[in-house]
Amino acid sequence: MKLTGAEIFIECLKAEKVDTIFGYPGGAVLFLYDELYKAQDDVHHILARHEQGAIHAAEGYAKSTDKPGVAIVTSGPGATNAVTGIADAYLDSVPLVVFTGQVPRSLIGNDAFQEVDIVGITRPCVKHNYLVTKVEDLASTIKKAFYLATSGRPGPVLVDIPKDLTTDKTEFVYPYEVNIRSYNPTVKGHPKQIKNAVDLILESKKPMIYSGGGVILSHASNDLVEFTQLLGYPITNTLMGLGAYPASDKQYLGMLGMHGTYEANLAMHGSDLVIAIGARFDDRVTGNIEKFCPDAKIIHIDIDPASISKNVVVDVPIVGEVRNILPQLIKELKHRGEKSDQKALAQWWKQIAEWQAEDCLGYIQGDDVIKAQYVVQKFWELTKGDAYVASDVGQHQMWAAQFYRFDKPNRWINSGGLGTMGFGLPAAMGVQVAHPDATVGCITGDGSIQMCIQELTTCKQYDLPLKILNLNNSFLGMVRQWQEFFYDKRYAMVDMTVQPDFVKLAEAYGHVGMRIEKPADVEGAIKEALAMKDRLVFMDFVTQKESNVYPMIPASAGQNEMILV
């Protein structure tokens, strides 16, 4: 039996075991939506209130599971509204498959109604994209899209489908295997490089393990723990790697980078060996490249060969999947039966303990005004560190990263590479869809939350009981902090004192709203919100207006040039 393109689309989703798709309908995808309507028992569609929200929700779904996120939007503005989310997924290596509608093939290039060249527009910010021109190619193209999105270094893949193609018919055959001649990711580390890496490990006296989001994407957290504890080395995680190694473990030094801990940054700066695992040496970690880890040899493990020596030249590159390479390293270390200089390592830990004694994240919560750090810390304590936490972008994001101590992977859902304000609420929504019985928090600020606040309607429609912690300082806080430090306190256009009544706004969307103004009320409010397991609760915490995130490495400084207070 021959199927239409729209029917083939649904059968492909079923073949890929897609149970949830986020989207927003429009003219160019009506035939696809008609088939989605018929297939509701197999593929659950979540109607976002903006295409950007749909993509971020798909990201949250993907980041918190081992499945790709899937989204569908219409042509023209529907597709362009999705670009921010697609770019966000590209920079954070999130496996997404995004379907966009396109005008009929006969109208492509004619400036037809709601026509844009979305393939051209997204080319710089996707792993790959396709314009399907023949219905016979639709099934194989969708298979390739899922394969590319989830293999090697994950990323978003876009499939653009002209409207008239969805009514064309052909025989449906789904290719359960795919072979792309020009795409063959290396998955295992080269044996010689494994031995070279172990040579450096055994020679080191002041080593550091620097792990990133690639560990989580490769489902290699257990391997990382075994590797780290076998060596007894100190370890730090990037912003994207939080939870890859348990924050409660004594070998963990906290996050590194611009707002990382004093001990993590100084240990990196003073090390003689850096073992970089699934991390890409981005500028928020390295600071001034010329001053980065001046005395260290570097081992770099990454699935993407283009990321190795891209920003920092390394001594031993190992290309492959982290989940394959760490067991190779462990096996080689055990085979040799040797250890690095234990006396030197003990001295190194003694030095690190002196840096830890600085208590760089210490703060004092008084009785008069709520400190944002206190809110995050209380949320961590009251959820026993077991919540999924999505954040927006800004000061609140850094406080969440510093004070919610993640012991498990896939629990920290944030926008790292693109730094997208508005990410938090829809991403948390996607997490809650994937984990309906879990506690899902969204830590946000009064600037970020208003960028995609319309998704509160989606949360109401699908009964998503998020717990939103709005750290409200009436400023675009991180921009204001930079203006304080580097622009002589000229607070240009960052005043957010004119804002809605967030309690009434939450109630208007059908949710529970709270306004918390006193430190003594913080714990009780969070407890009350957590007790309402079937309701979305919007907690508007009025926090200290001109509070800053510390430590901080200025943009042109080295890791040892932190501002502590």
Contact in structure between 35 and 9 (CB atoms under 8 Å) = yes
Tell me what the mean pLDDT of segment 9-33 comes to.
98
Q: Classify residue 547: in a domain, yes or no.
A: no
Identify the pLDDT of residue 364.
96
d(CA 445, CA 470): 5
Same domain, 108 and 255: no
* 418 inside domain: yes
Give me 395's structure tokens: 């000061």
Last residue of a domain, one of 171, 203, 230: 171
- Asked if the structure places residue 329 within a domain, the reply is yes
Task: Give the catalytic positions in this structure.
Answer: 51, 113-114, 163, 478
In a domain, 143, yes or no: yes
Residue whose C-alpha is closest to residue 469's, from 411, 392, 385, 355: 392
| Residues whose CB is less than 8 angstroms from the CB of residue 278 and which lie 6 or more positions away in sequence, other chains included | 211, 212, 213, 214, 215, 216, 217, 218, 220, 241, 244, 301, 302, 303, 322
DSSP letters, 79-95, are: HHHTHHHHHHHHHTT--
For 32-56, what is each residue's pLDDT tens digit?
999 999 999 999 999 999 999 999 9
Does residue 362 form part of some domain? no
Confidence of residue 556 (pLDDT cuts 50, 70, 90): confident
Q: What is the largest CA-CA distance in the chain?
A: 74
Nearest C-alpha neighbor of 436 from the set 59, 64, 47: 64
Residue 542 has pLDDT above 90, yes or no: yes
| pLDDT, averaged across the chain | 97
User: Given pLDDT bands bounded at 50, 70 and 90, which one contains residue 445?
Assistant: very high
d(CA 396, CA 425): 14
- Rounded mean pLDDT of 463-478? 98
For residue 23, the surrounding DSSP H or E stretch is strand 20-23
Contact 277, 326 (CB under 8 A): yes
Relative to beta strand 252-255, strand 273-277 is unpaired
If you write DSSP's letter for every residue of 138-179 in order, what string do you get? Answer: HHHHHHHHHHHHHSSS--EEEEEEEGGGGT-EEE----SS--
The overall pTM is greater than 0.85: yes
Give the domain CATH number at 105: 3.40.50.970
Same domain (yes/no): 18, 154: yes
Across 27-74, where does the E strand assignment appear? 44-47, 69-73
Statement to judge: residues 21 and 65 lie in one domain: yes
Q: Which of 214, 273, 280 is nearest to 241 (CA)?
A: 214
Give the number of domains in the chain: 3
DSSP 209: E
Domain of 299: which CATH number? 3.40.50.1220
Domain containing 129: what range? 2-171
Give the residues across from 169 on adjacent strands: 4
Instruction: Write the DSSP string, 218-243.
Output: TT-HHHHHHHHHHHT--EEE-STTTT
